[in-house]
Amino acid sequence: MRARPDSIRHSVFWNEAEQAQSPRFDLLEREFEPTLYRGFPVQVLSVVGYPDGFYQIKSLFGGNNPKGRSPIVFCIANVYARPDSGAGLGGQWRLYNALPINRARFWNSQQLGHVTFYYPPYHIFNKQKARQLNGFIDGLCKQFTVPTKPVDYYMADTPDELRQLRGIDYEATGSGLLKPTGRAIDNQVFCSGLDEFYPHELVHVYLDSSYPNQHPWVSEGVATYLGGSRGQSLDWHLARVATHLRAHPDIDLTNLLSLVSLDEFTDYRYALGGLLARAVFAKGGTSLLKQFMQSGRSDKAYYAALEQFLGLKRAELNERLREMLAGY
């Protein structure tokens, strides 16, 4: 844990197979922004051996509270280790991600089309919705002229189950209302409280790498326009935003990008970003939407794109956006 596992360089402490799959081979490092390994002291809590030869290493990331209160516990996480027996390796111990080991031990899986679905034993696999997701992928890739690729799709009832699958027993950011969640990491999708058909994250998986020069409001807006958010449609979220804005005329939409979340279920970036992405598509179809998705990552570029593609000047956003929401 102290051997710079957050480094993307080759590590003599990590197994070769996982390093060959990705330069960011340590999945725990990718769980937190900017990184799990941000200088917290690490304490190994336990090492437990299993019959298959793997040893589970449970570690606490945290430290003393400078204000003298209870210690800060940022995360309790697990990796696995076992000695390699390959030629020339001399039985040296190597680290392994918890995710592939835990899913093989505890979860079920089915592969259908482009997607391998992973789910807990209590879940009854819905093949119809799995086919629906594959149909969405085919249509999306055809619409945006991007290649299909295999995806690992993990689903469970709660976020805790997904965290435990990935090797996390506890994280400080895990509080709040229980609600549907989704997350995409490379070609992996993690969904809680949803089912086999949650297309929002698939938009990120297939489009984000082809459109790296898009503002976060464009990325999330397009994903919400095409695939909803938290299991609900774009219109569902827009109705909530419209109701809130009518009750709060003091909210100034000329500072659009300063708005964060309406609540734990609806985010302005997703809802209003989706409204604007849909407006671009309505004006010029996929061709114009593609241009919008390449208009720049800075806030200045986003405001300029709204004026370029929709004729929405920043000074007019408060009035014009409220007009666009009038029907909700």
Give me the percent of the chain exceeding a pLDDT of 70.
Answer: 91
Whether the pLDDT of residue 250 is over 90: the answer is yes
Q: pLDDT at position 256, please?
A: 96
Q: Compute and round to an integer the Cα radius of gyration of the chain.
A: 22
Query: Which pTM was predicted?
Result: 0.90
Q: pLDDT at position 86, please?
A: 57
Q: pLDDT at position 27, please?
A: 87
Contact 227, 137 (CB under 8 A): no
Averaged pLDDT for residues 27-55: 84
Q: What is the pLDDT of residues 192-220, one digit of tens each?
A: 999 999 999 999 999 999 999 999 999 99
Q: Which residues make Cβ contacts (< 8 Å) with residue 155, sequence separation at least 6?
A: 117, 118, 119, 123, 190, 191, 192, 194, 195, 196, 198
Whether the pLDDT of residue 11 is over 90: the answer is no
Q: What is the pLDDT of residues 99-139, one digit of tens each?
A: 999 999 999 999 999 999 999 999 999 999 999 999 999 99
Residue-range domain boundaries for the chain: 16-96, 107-210, 211-328
- Structure-block tokens of residue 84: 């390699």
Contact 182, 119 (CB under 8 A): no
Tell me the pLDDT band of 173, cut-offs 50, 70 and 90: confident
Q: Indicate the range of 30-39, 89-98, 138-147 predicted with least confidence.
A: 30-39
Q: What is the C-alpha to C-alpha distance for residues 302 and 148, in angstroms, rounded to an integer?
A: 28
